[in-house]
Amino acid sequence: MNRLLDIMFRGFIQKGNLHVTYSDGSQRSYRGKQPGESAGLRFYTSQAERALLFNPGLRFGEAYMDEGLGPEGCSLEQLMRVLMTNIEEHSLFSEEVSRRLRYAGRLLRPLNSLGRARTNVAHHYDLDQRLYRLFLDEDMQYSCGYFESDDVSLEEAQLAKKHHIAQKLKLDRPGLEVLDIGCGWGGMALTLARDYGARVLGVTLSVEQLEVARQRAREAGLEDQVTFELLDYRTLHRKFDRIVSVGMFEHVGLRDYATFFRRVHDLLRDDGVALIHSIGRMDGPGTTNPWIAKYIFPGGYSPALSETLAAVEQSGLWVADCEVLRLHYAKTLAHWRKRFEEHRAEIVQLYDERFVRMFEFYLLCSELAFRLQGHMNFQLQLTRSIEAVPLTRDYLLQAA
């Protein structure tokens, strides 16, 4: 077994150095041809060694959760930096085969039905709200902040994100009717109502999020302006002046992109404006990591702009503006990881050690995907009318 892993690592490590201690106590060092960071990996069980030979994209995370492997002489972040950098340089043969099979089967996956969508959302977003309160900002924004400088706090970055989006929605008069698709715990909807005088309908498929959002609306005295419902956007049949969706498009499903943008078109009034904020990828269409798909976001996929814009083009909508946010999510995740670690003991009490190892692995690998592997965020401003927004971006600066 060690011999096979030895061959695998010798071919895999092209950049930096990896020192491996196997479960039988033997040790090997693998030095890449290119300079880079160094890290250590220790196998605690032979089961983890066997698992890593096949579908390592899934099995490495599982082995870490089960304490079958871990960093040695370094942090988990240092270890994952070395591994994820080398994945970009030179994928393992077994992982490349798995990736190609996943890619070939993308369009064979079932459509994202109403029932499947609700099940997928519940897997992650119906976790105990106390978990999210321990590492998110005070407003419980579960998407990337907008870092106008390096020294702003998480709270400041999330507030800036909401106002940045509001400016693109062009909320230039009170009373505009806004649809918030995938409203989370209600922070965006409440901000648009309180600070811009909008009347907002927020829809979610998460029972936990719905309960929190409604409670927050009551506490803020905004029940007359904000309504939250447990609804799928595809079941709505009324018109809105504005539509906003933050961090929801990643869950739509590749085969449903055209449906999503057609519904946005049909739900917008003729002079309406929509703002779609999503995680994306800069290097073209790809696949979701199998560990993320199994344990964190079943049905989730971060789209390339080429895939997204192709669907917009079928909808009759104008792309009035497109902004790519680089590293904003990496900075956000760094804040979340720090807060998660500070409350680690409390989270173990809420769940257990295996859950905590799963979640910390998810937060770390997500951050590194934005730092090392071409993930980013994009914001699409969409309109039905060619004249719905000003001809230049100057109005965004004037509203700031």
Provide the annotated active-site residues: 365
Q: To 10 degrees, the CA torsion angle through 209, 300, 85, 60?
A: 90
Task: Report d(CA 168, CA 308) in Å as an integer.
Answer: 19
Average pLDDT over residues 354-364: 97
Task: Report d(CA 104, CA 118) in Å as an integer.
Answer: 26
Sign of the four-CA dihedral 109, 115, 118, 120: negative
Percentage of residues of the chain with pLDDT beyond 70? 93
Long-range contacts of the stretch 180-183 (C-beta < 8 A, 24+): 180/243, 180/244, 180/245, 180/246, 181/233, 181/243, 181/244, 181/245, 181/248, 182/233, 182/245, 182/246, 182/247, 182/248, 182/251, 183/209, 183/213, 183/228
Q: Is pLDDT above 60 for 7? A: yes
Right CATH number for 114-399 from 3.40.50.2300, 1.10.10.10, 3.40.50.150, 3.40.50.720? 3.40.50.150
Q: Is pLDDT above 60 for 95? A: no
pLDDT digits (tens, 9 = 90+) for 8-64: 899 899 999 999 999 999 999 999 999 999 999 999 999 999 999 888 889 999 999
pLDDT digits (tens, 9 = 90+) for 362-388: 999 999 999 999 999 999 999 999 999
pLDDT digits (tens, 9 = 90+) for 327-341: 999 999 999 999 999
Task: Report d(CA 16, CA 34) in Å as an integer.
Answer: 6
Q: Of 71, 80, 81, 86, which Cα lies nearest the Cα of 34?
A: 86
Domain boundaries along the sequence of the chain: 2-104, 114-399
Average pLDDT over residues 152-163: 98
Task: Report d(CA 384, CA 16) in Å as an integer.
Answer: 50
- Edge to edge, what strands does the sheet with 15-21 contain? 27-31, 15-21, 34-43, 69-71
What is the pLDDT at residue 207? 94
pLDDT digits (tens, 9 = 90+) for 230-282: 999 999 999 999 999 999 999 998 889 999 999 999 999 999 999 999 999 99
